[in-house]
Structure 1
Amino acid sequence: MKLLLTSAGISNQSIRNALIVLLGKPIAEANALFIPTAVYGIPNGGDILRRVICGTLGDPFCELGWKSLSLFELTTLPSLKKEFWLSTLNETDALLVGGGDCQYLTYWMKQSGVADLLPSLLQKVVYVGLSAGSMIMTSHGSTFGNHTLPAESAKSLGLIDFAIHPHLDYPTFPQNSMANIEKLAATLPMPSYAIDDQTAIKVVDGVVEVISEGNWKLITP
């Protein structure tokens, strides 16, 4: 399993280099699929999606110079024949999973059937998460509640046994101070990584490495 779990995308050269190593080829020779689903669970999601795709919001993610980039919308998959989209998924080099609402994204990962495919798919495809797209792979997720899902719906897939708290000390997110994240982490049974937007967590077959040109902290329960 090859994961690159970012707070805000490919925000610096160190994270970019890690991505290239995981791909085993230059980005310009790699095909990517972008899953935007989580963004619909936050205010102004449609406009945020547009800006992420065209590269005018935040750090590079979709607009990295991929050989090809396609949208892969989870909410459409249950109404399509599986063979219609499965080949597209299997033929990509990188799965880019965007930010937004963890609970909404987790629900559609499961409903679409993609969650069941991830353990085998990620033996050959690199998973690149951004914010919620990173958090759902861990044992702890969150929600903004802008949906009609039952409150007890899962907020993450639990494929790795730690938590990620992104956007550490981000100026417009005062709730993401180190002090607040440490208080939240103290209530969780698993280790937590508090990471800022210049940091990512690389996981390869269970081996964890922090890639950072910024600030981060491992918080143990």
Structure 2
Amino acid sequence: MKLLLTSGGVTNGSIRSALTEMLGRDVADCDALFVPTAQWGHPACSPQSVWRSTAGRWSSPGGLCELGWKSVGVLELTALPSIGPDRWVPWVRDADVLLVDGGEAIYLAHWLRESGLAQLLPDHPDTVWVGVSAGSMVMTPRIGAEFVDWKPGGADEALGVVDFSIFPHLDYRGWAANTLASARRWALSIPGPAYAIDDQTAIAVVDGAVTVVSEGHWEALNP
């Protein structure tokens, strides 16, 4: 699977170009599935925020569903165990891209495993995963205690598909806890490499090669 791990979505031309390159064709020729599941696990999210993401109605620049796809469907992970893989596996197989929204990364990791989708991902090397915030962090080994809002076990381990961690929304306006100094403190508790990225930055991972795509601000931590 090809990964485009963003903080705020496809927010500029450089990130969109990286997405087009991963897809191998324009977004208008591609079928997408949108995964809103992480929002249900985060206390700041709501049914209204899920609708805004699905409908592409956020006021801030960037996005996922509103990029001009050939088609967009919703894949709600919490529903998949109740309907069986014979129904939903073909949906994933036929999708060119999975658009994975932000929210709570550990909750998302839980439902990726519980639904069976996490186990299926290695079978789709040509599918593109576009993550926003928690949708990106879920692919890392650890997210750090600072980002855990769903705490059935208190752990911060995610899927570990990549070998680096992500501090998203760097220097986000109005978020005093998301400074570079905070990111550097966060990195002290994270074993292995990490990146602090703002909403104009993405990390592309193709065949194990990692490339930072940015028109903004980012920093490599724990190199």
TM-score, structure 2 normalization: 0.94
> Whole-Å Cα distance in 1 between the matches of residues 221 and 84 of structure 2?
44
Which residue of structure 1 aligns with residue 172 of structure 2?
Answer: 170
Task: Identify which range, 182-191 or 194-203, moves more after superposition.
Answer: 182-191
Q: How does 1:69-80 map to 2 (within 5 A)?
A: 69-80=72-83
Q: Note the C-alpha offset of 1:217.
A: 0.3
Which residue of structure 2 aligns with residue 19 of structure 1?
Answer: 19
Alignment partner for residue 128 of structure 2, among 113, 126, 129? Answer: 126
> Which structure 1 segments of 5+ residues have no match?
none
Instruction: Give the total of aligned pairs.
Output: 217
Give the root-mean-square deviation of aligned CA atoms. 1.3
Give 3-state SS (helix, strand or coil) of 1:170's partner. coil
Which residue of structure 2 aligns with residue 8 of structure 1?
Answer: 8
In structure 1, give the amino acid aligned to 2:48. D
Q: Is contact 1:31–1:94 with CA below 8 Å preserved after alignment?
A: yes
In structure 1, give the amino acid aligned to 2:49. I
Q: Is contact 2:45–2:103 with CA below 8 Å preserved after alignment?
A: no
TM-score, structure 1 normalization: 0.94
Q: Note the C-alpha offset of 1:80.
A: 1.0
Q: Note the C-alpha offset of 1:35.
A: 0.5
Q: Is contact 2:148–2:154 with CA below 8 Å preserved after alignment?
A: no
Q: Note the C-alpha offset of 1:128.
A: 0.4
Q: Note the C-alpha offset of 1:195.
A: 0.2
Which residue of structure 2 aligns with residue 100 of structure 1?
Answer: 103
Identity across the alignment (%)? 46
> Which structure 2 segments of 5+ residues have no match?
none
> Whole-Å Cα distance in 1 between the matches of residues 66 and 79 of structure 2?
24
Q: Is contact 1:143–1:155 with CA below 8 Å preserved after alignment?
A: no
Give 3-state SS (helix, strand or coil) of 2:220's partner. strand
Q: Note the C-alpha offset of 1:56.
A: 2.0
> Whole-Å Cα distance in 2 between the matches of residues 110 and 30 of structure 1?
26
Give 3-state SS (helix, strand or coil) of 2:119's partner. helix
2:146 equivalent to 1:144 = no
Give 3-state SS (helix, strand or coil) of 1:15's partner. helix
> Whole-Å Cα distance in 1 between the matches of residues 169 and 2 of structure 2?
22
Give 3-state SS (helix, strand or coil) of 2:149's partner. coil
Which residue of structure 1 aligns with residue 57 of structure 2?
Answer: 56
